[in-house]
Structure 1
Amino acid sequence: MPNRNILLSFFLTLGISQFSIPANGQVLLPYTPQLDMEQLELQGLKMAEEASQLVRFQQHDHALSRAKLAVQLAPQKYQPWFILGTLYVMKQDLDLGINALKKSLDLEPKEITIKFTLGNAYFQQGKYQLAAIELEEGLEIKPNTSSAQFDLGNTYFKLGQMQKSMIAYQQAVAAQVDFWPAINNIGLIKYEQGNKEEAIAQWRRALKINSEQAEPKLALGVALYSQGQKEQGIQLGKTALKLDHKYRDLEYLHENLWGKKLLKDTQKFLSEPEVDIFINQLK
């Protein structure tokens, strides 16, 4: 599964692209108290835009300080609250993030990117029913959003609704043909359904899109190993573990939606003497 902050950054970029800041010439009028408030709001919106730019450069702490100031300057505008909420979610301050996103949604109930981000936050809290509601409502308006379809697929997966999960992943790929995380997760479902050949095909497809992704590489290695193609499976698995050490942890794999059958085969794979020695060398 890709880093969640990558998906959140996508939602943030999508949301920011849908609002514009008035040009300075639009507010160059004689001084009035009302105008002063408009200028404060304008400054708040500019701060919010600066925060979103800083996120793109991975400067999250600086972005957060600007977003906090932005909501003080423009508390009745949804954009600063949206950016602040997204940043809190990125930093795993989920309660603060959800509260800010709810405030943003109150101010602009039709803004779907808020719903997508809120759904992502609820998913991370383990509140899968709430996550599904927000994602479904957003996707009714903008169905061809691959990242949101992927999040919805993950949510259905956690709820045990595998058929709906599969459909959501397929729709993510239909919206973006090179969206390898959804292709990878289709493989996870196929493996649990006992269709190893189709799972292998999906993981090969994902790796054809991005050959440097550890998750489909390890999954493919484990699948081939379980079918008796030990040499090829071990080589793929070792390459995957070298790319990302976290994938040697079964709990981490479980969090990334690896099912019982695949985890059982992975445990056998990790116990293979050659793989075990390799892992100890990585440590």
Structure 2
Amino acid sequence: MPKHLHVISFLVACSLWNMPQAVHAQALIPHTVQIDRDKLETQGLSLAQEAAQLARFREIDMALPRARLATQLAPKNDKVWLLLGGLHLQAKEFDQAIAALQTAQTLNPKNADILFALGSASFQQKKYQAAAEYYQNGLKLTPKDAEGLFDLGNAYYMLGRLPEAIAKFDQAVSQDQKFWPAINNIGLIKYEQGDIQGAVKQWQAAIAVDKQAAEPLLALAVAMYTKGDQQQGLRMGEAALRIDQRYADINFLKENLWGERLLLDTRRFLELPQMQSVLEPQEEGVVIPNSLPAQ
């Protein structure tokens, strides 16, 4: 479960800025035009706040023009550039995202969130070594950041550095005991290593933190069904898909770092009639999207 939490957290945080409201333009004075740069910056920050609020509702197309204008009105504010970079990241516009984030970093090299966002950009481009380095540098500034530790764990996971990944996930949980995504991802690693019982314990712990977390619930359902506890597995699977049907999409699971062993077991599980019946029917019948070859 990568989630790239720093970008998301920043966009939400922006909406909470205590920014002054934009000042309405005064009547035009015909002889001279006085440019009040403080007022322009205030308007830029207000636009950034609007953009962040729109991003919370995933209105990225509406948020981006406001954020771009905000950077023109408040060009020396690193948070505004970080917001713009985060929006481009959500739109999968990586070149624009990196350009905005690098501007933000130039303005404020000590802002760890910028480094984490650059790490997210690299991670989404599958440049996992570069991502790990950005996350490491961000953690030098904020070493107890649970989300940064989680992100670094994901980068190590994708690099095959599994003991280091588990260590970072454990550190993330030590900083935030309710941070179930890190607990969940330890389960993902253990399952791929063949430690099914160890994975089950992790997913049970994640569900204990958040009973509405569909991801560990579905993973646990698959593990239970595969182990032979079919009725309990089916009940859990139905509950997970009723919470969030995106987890019926194999591609979505791959994006959330599910490994090949778990994906194969999940594909078989999702093809069961009981799981199919939970999913919303489509025009030509229910289809389980997947990118894996038929077994």
TM-score band w.r.t. shorter chain: 0.7 to 0.9
Q: In structure 1, what residue type is equivalent to 2:126?
A: G
In structure 2, the residue matched to 1:178 is 178
- 2:132 partner letter: A
Aligned to 1:197: 197
Rounded Cα–Cα distance in structure 2 between residues aligned with 1:278 and 1:72: 49
Secondary structure, counterpart of 1:8 in structure 2: helix
Partner of 1:239: 239
1:8 aligns with 2:12: no
Q: Which residue of 2 aligns with 1:134?
A: 134
**Is the alpha carbon distance of 1:281 and 1:50 closer, same or farther for their aligned partners in structure 2, counting shifts above 3 Å?**
closer
Partner of 2:254: 254
Distance in 1, matches of 2:42 and 2:271, equals: 60
Match of 1:219 in 2: 219
TM-score normalised over the length of structure 2: 0.81
Q: How far apart are the structure 2 equivalents of 1:177 and 1:245?
A: 27
Which residue is equivalent to 2:93?
93
Aligned counterpart, 2:71: 71
Post-superposition Cα deviations, 1:159-206, rounded to whole Å, max 9, x if no partner, equal 111111111111111111111111110111111222211211111111
Where does the alignment leave 5 or more consecutive residues of structure 2 unmatched?
23-32, 287-295
1:277, distance to aligned residue in structure 2 (A): 5.5
Q: Which has the higher contact order (CA 8 A, sep 6+)?
A: 2
Q: Deviations over 1:93-144 (max 9, x none)?
A: 2221111111111111111111111111211111111111111100111122
Contact residue 270 and residue 276 of structure 1 kept, 8 A: yes
Q: In the alignment, which residue of structure 2 is the partner of 1:117?
A: 117
Change (3 A) 1:66 1:271: closer
Count of residues in Structure 1 that have an aligned counterpart in Structure 2:
274
Q: Distance in 2 between matches of 1:15 and 1:137?
A: 23
Change in 2 beyond 3 A, CA 1:77/1:268: closer
Counterpart for residue 105 of structure 2: 105
One-letter identity of the residue aligned with 2:204: R
CA RMSD of aligned residues (A): 3.0
Partner residue, 1:158: 158
Of the structure 1 ranges 70-79 and 83-92, higher mean CA displacement relative to structure 2 is found in: 70-79
Deviation (angstroms), 1:156: 1.1
Partner residue in 2 for 1:30: none
Deviations 1:24-63 (A, max 9, x none): 9xxxxxxxx9984444334333433443344345544443
Task: Name structure 1 gaps, 5 residues minimum.
Answer: 25-32
- Per the TM alignment, residue 23 of structure 1 is displaced from its structure 2 partner at its CA by 11
Paired residues for 1:264-283 under 5 Å: 264-276=264-276, 283=286
Moved more, 223-232 or 85-94: 85-94
CA distance in 1, matches of 2:147, 2:15: 16
Indicate if the aligned counterparts of 2:241 and 2:278 stay in contact, CA closer than 8 A. Answer: no
Separation in structure 2 between the aligned mates of residue 280 and residue 66 of structure 1, nearest angstrom: 36
- Contact in 2 for aligned 1:250/1:267 (Cα 8 Å): yes
- Taking only the aligned residue pairs, the percentage that are identical comes to 44
Alpha-carbon spacing, 1:35–1:249, altered in 2? closer, same or farther (3 Å): closer
> Residue in 2 aligned with 1:83?
83
Following TM superposition, by how much is the alpha carbon of 1:240 offset from its aligned partner in structure 2, in angstroms?
1.7
Pick which of 68-77 and 152-161 moved more.
68-77
Whichever structure has more helix as a proportion of its residues is 1
Letter in 1 for 2:256: N
Instruction: Give the Cα–Cα distance (whole angstroms) in 2 for the partners of residues 141 and 80 of structure 1.
Output: 20
Per-residue deviation, 1:230:
0.9
Residue 169 of structure 1 corresponds to: 169
